[in-house]
Chain A
Amino acid sequence: MSEAAAQVKSLFSSGHTACAGCGQSLAARLMIDAAGANTIIANNTGCLEVFSTKYPESAWGVPWIHSLFENAAAVASGIESALKFQGKKDKILVIAQAGDGGTADIGMQALSGMWERGHDVLAICYDNEAYENTGIQRSGLTPYDASTTTSPSGLKSFGNPRPKKPMPEIARAHGIPYVATASVGFPQDLQKKVKRAISIKGPKYLQIHVPCPLGWGYASGLTYQIAKLAVETGLYPIIEYENGVLIGVRKITPKPVEEYLKPQRRFRHVIGNPDELARIQEIANHNIKRYNLVTGSS
């Protein structure tokens, strides 16, 4: 199939209103094309919902529902239960998807409930590390030192004072059979993980790192490079757990975190500040050690 024909066949059409270089729109297309047409999606409020379904147009080629900011996991639980009642569940995949705020903050309770009840639903978090849709406010997944509109850097602030909430660990603590992270910088890995996830019955969690040129303050042509640098510095480890066991990590030859931070306006205030850079490097080093990320290590 030619590239143009593949474009036409995508279950996520072009023509939506995402910003140029939006990492989330790329990830959404990769995700749904890997998941396939026999899928029903429940989508929390957020960028993806807003730019893909502004009446009277929709980018989605699969049945799709948006209800509220925090309830996609509960709506998906209802969809899955209805499909069970109809005897159709084995043939249809249900996805609950949200941004980082919709997942780790306001949607956390509904998500935890869905996991605990064991619904056969894949939860996807598109992690662009802030409330980008409402104007780049801090979320529970905003990284340490990132300047946002509600955690701005200033004379007495280096931006967000807290590290990212460890969502994959929280997911894993629920005892669910599949937990993984992916990055839009590694599209084949992303699609492989979607397919892996949907082959497993029960609750699944996939967290995808999706750079946001507007919110992070970098040139829109750099989305892939920025996404890759997050992984290659060790700041966004790509990991995969099945039944609680770490079955895979993306190996890296670690680059200094400054390479990732420098092109982004949200970290401008830490460039040239050795103390803060060291603190961020420490986060990367911790990840590298914890997950054995260095190429050649086992």
Chain B
Amino acid sequence: MKEFLEGSRAIAKIVSLCRPGVISAYPITPQTHMVEGLAQLVADGKLDSQFINVESEHSAASVVLGASATGVRVYTATSSQGLFLMAEVLFNIAGMRLPVVLTCANRAMSAPISIWNDQQDSVSLRDCGFIQFYAENIQEAVDLHLIAYRVAENKDILLPAMVCIDGYILTHGIEPVDIPEQEKVNRFLPEYQPVYKLDVDNPLTLGFLADPDYYMETRFAIQETHKEITRILPQLFTEFSSCFGRNYNFVEKYRMDDAEKVIVAMGSVCGTIKDVVDELRKKGKKVGLLKILCLRPFPLQEICNALNNISKVAVLDRALSLGSLAPLYSEIKASFSGKKKAPKIISGFIAGIGGRDITRESVKQVFRQLNQREISGKFIDLKPELLQEKL
């Protein structure tokens, strides 16, 4: 049965159903409603969990690191500056192979300070070793948490996972959501069985110093595990589908079969793009969308297979790599490096930075500017008059 839920409350519900033994977080807009929801569930005795209020995101990440190393399922959530205060710990969690699950309420980075949405925070941390999922809507956000725990805790994986949801748009938006029953969740996500943990009956040393004779192999192993995830996730998506009836994949192809122009994007903007695609299709335009659900591991093969017959591709980034090409754009470009079957044009667009709305008109602009000439780093909805201002 579906219920109308705010995104954050829906995530609190599904995380609660995942039964984490330790939750730790530090408040930051727009993450707050998620952890408030969990705190209330613990306070009401509906969730048996240690809820640890800490003095910083650095400590929130460190608390769940310690608890995960002790063999308990854990959860944390943050956003923007908070994610960056955690950054040091996040690399560490991945290096220590701890299956922490984190929700990132995507928000712009300071300065100037902005509490509004873009994806600069999590995209900038794409190299930290975490698996990264990007949700289009609240139902996906809910489902991806179940998938995140399952893949993270898989004995052949043991890597942390981040579920990225656009701040406000998904954290504070309200949609009809199907929250599965506890029994169904238990079947899909059984109790966490750690492979190794801090245990007085079997004393292990975790977090060694590795000199140049040993360090590189530990990083290579994580890289290999990310390849393993691309092998394991399809089975998991199939299992999820048979349990809950909803289908996921690394990428989602929307009306791409005969498309000539396709936008590649991540997160909630995909909903808007789908609406525009439907509208333009009605007018006979051959347009489509390729949604990236999983940024890490980067689904290179799926992306190539999906796009290699498309004539013109526009990559829509909601984050920047200041001084270079936008992050998703450069990865999509690189995916076709040296390949004979490739789109003729791959153009790069940037929109929605710092919470500026990406409207249907914004998306139409992208389709319009996707023509014979390849462009990159093209900002949509810039206000030129603001750039003219003089002191």
Q: Which of B209-217, B235-243, B247-255, B364-372 contacts A (4 or more CB under 8 A)?
A: B209-217
B207 part of interface (Cβ distance < 8 Å): yes
Residues 199-229 (chain B) with a chain A CB within 8 angstroms? 199-200, 202-211, 214
A19: B residues at CB distance < 8 A: none
Q: Which of B53-61, B170-178, B277-285, B318-326 contacts A (4 or more CB under 8 A)?
A: B53-61
Other-chain contact of A117, B48, B52, B96, B208 (Cβ < 8 Å): B52
- A92:B200 contact, CB within 8 angstroms: yes
Q: Which of A55-63, A134-142, A264-272 contacts B (4 or more CB under 8 A)?
A: A55-63
Could you tell me which A residues sit within 8 Å of B by CB distance? 37-40, 42-43, 49-50, 53-56, 58, 60-68, 70-71, 73-79, 81-86, 92, 109-110, 112-113, 116-117
B88: A residues at CB distance < 8 A: 68
- B207:A71 contact, CB within 8 angstroms: no
Other-chain contact of B211, A54, A79, A112 (Cβ < 8 Å): A54
A75: B residues at CB distance < 8 A: 62-63, 65-66, 69
- A81:B209 contact, CB within 8 angstroms: no
B92 part of interface (Cβ distance < 8 Å): yes
- A63:B208 contact, CB within 8 angstroms: no
B67 part of interface (Cβ distance < 8 Å): yes
Could you tell me which B residues sit within 8 Å of A by CB distance? 21-22, 24, 48-50, 52-56, 58-59, 62-72, 74, 88-89, 92, 96, 198-200, 202-211, 214
Cα distance A113–B57 in the bound complex, in angstroms: 12
Cα distance A110–B202 in the bound complex, in angstroms: 28
Closest 10 CB pairs of A and B: A78-B66, A74-B62, A66-B207, A82-B70, A113-B55, A75-B66, A58-B205, A71-B62, A74-B59, A78-B63
Q: What residue in chain B is nearest A38 (Cβ atoms)?
A: B200
**Can you name 12 A-B residue pairings with CB atoms under 8 Å?**
A58-B205, A64-B206, A65-B206, A67-B65, A77-B52, A77-B59, A78-B52, A82-B50, A86-B70, A92-B200, A112-B55, A117-B52
Distance (whole angstroms) from the CB of A298 to the closest CB of chain B? 40
| Extra A-B contacts (15), CB below 8 Å, given A54-B209, A74-B62, A83-B70 | A55-B209, A56-B214, A58-B205, A64-B205, A67-B207, A74-B59, A77-B52, A77-B54, A78-B70, A79-B70, A109-B58, A110-B58, A110-B59, A112-B55, A117-B53
A62: B residues at CB distance < 8 A: 200, 203
Interface centre among B67, B70, B200, B211 (most CB of A within 10 A): B70
- B63:A55 contact, CB within 8 angstroms: no
Distance (whole angstroms) from the CB of A27 to the closest CB of chain B? 19
Other-chain contact of B89, A56, A67, A81 (Cβ < 8 Å): A67
Q: What residue in chain A is nearest B51 (Cβ atoms)?
A: A81
Distance (whole angstroms) from the CB of A247 to the closest CB of chain B? 29
A68: B residues at CB distance < 8 A: 62, 88-89, 92
A110: B residues at CB distance < 8 A: 55-56, 58-59, 62
Cα distance A75–B88 in the bound complex, in angstroms: 14
- A55:B208 contact, CB within 8 angstroms: yes
- B204:A74 contact, CB within 8 angstroms: no
Other-chain contact of A67, B50, B56, B96, B200 (Cβ < 8 Å): B96
A63: B residues at CB distance < 8 A: 198-200, 202-206
Cα distance A38–B198 in the bound complex, in angstroms: 11
A82: B residues at CB distance < 8 A: 21-22, 50, 66-68, 70-72, 74
Distance (whole angstroms) from the CB of A37 to the closest CB of chain B? 6
- Using A65-B198, A67-B89, A81-B22 as known contacts, say yes or no to A86 and B58 having CB atoms under 8 A apart: no
Cα distance A70–B57 in the bound complex, in angstroms: 13
B210: A residues at CB distance < 8 A: 55
Cα distance A58–B55 in the bound complex, in angstroms: 32
B63: A residues at CB distance < 8 A: 74-75, 77-78, 81
- A66:B52 contact, CB within 8 angstroms: no
Interface centre among A49, A67, A83 (most CB of B within 10 A): A67
Other-chain contact of B58, A66, A71, A85, A92 (Cβ < 8 Å): A71
- A85:B209 contact, CB within 8 angstroms: no
B214: A residues at CB distance < 8 A: 55-56
B55: A residues at CB distance < 8 A: 109-110, 112-113, 116
- A78:B22 contact, CB within 8 angstroms: yes
- B209:A49 contact, CB within 8 angstroms: yes
A79: B residues at CB distance < 8 A: 66-67, 69-70, 198
Distance (whole angstroms) from the CB of B25 to the closest CB of chain A? 12
- B205:A60 contact, CB within 8 angstroms: yes
A109: B residues at CB distance < 8 A: 55-56, 58-59
- B62:A40 contact, CB within 8 angstroms: no
- A85:B62 contact, CB within 8 angstroms: no
B59: A residues at CB distance < 8 A: 71, 73-74, 77, 109-110, 113
- Using A74-B66, A81-B63, A92-B200 as known contacts, say yes or no to A53 and B207 having CB atoms under 8 A apart: yes
Cα distance A56–B211 in the bound complex, in angstroms: 10
Distance (whole angstroms) from the CB of A234 to the closest CB of chain B? 35
Distance (whole angstroms) from the CB of A47 to the closest CB of chain B? 11
B48: A residues at CB distance < 8 A: 85
Q: What residue in chain B is nearest A114 (Cβ atoms)?
A: B59
Distance (whole angstroms) from the CB of B194 to the closest CB of chain A? 10
Q: What residue in chain B is nearest A84 (Cβ atoms)?
A: B50
Cα distance A61–B205 in the bound complex, in angstroms: 9
Cα distance A65–B200 in the bound complex, in angstroms: 12
Cα distance A214–B92 in the bound complex, in angstroms: 30
Distance (whole angstroms) from the CB of A155 to the closest CB of chain B? 39
A40: B residues at CB distance < 8 A: 70, 198, 200
Distance (whole angstroms) from the CB of A241 to the closest CB of chain B? 23
Cα distance A109–B72 in the bound complex, in angstroms: 25
B62: A residues at CB distance < 8 A: 67-68, 71, 74-75, 77-78, 110
A55: B residues at CB distance < 8 A: 208-211, 214
B206: A residues at CB distance < 8 A: 63-66
Q: What residue in chain B is nearest A36 (Cβ atoms)?
A: B200
A54: B residues at CB distance < 8 A: 208-209, 211
Interface centre among A53, A85, A116 (most CB of B within 10 A): A85
B207: A residues at CB distance < 8 A: 43, 53, 65-67
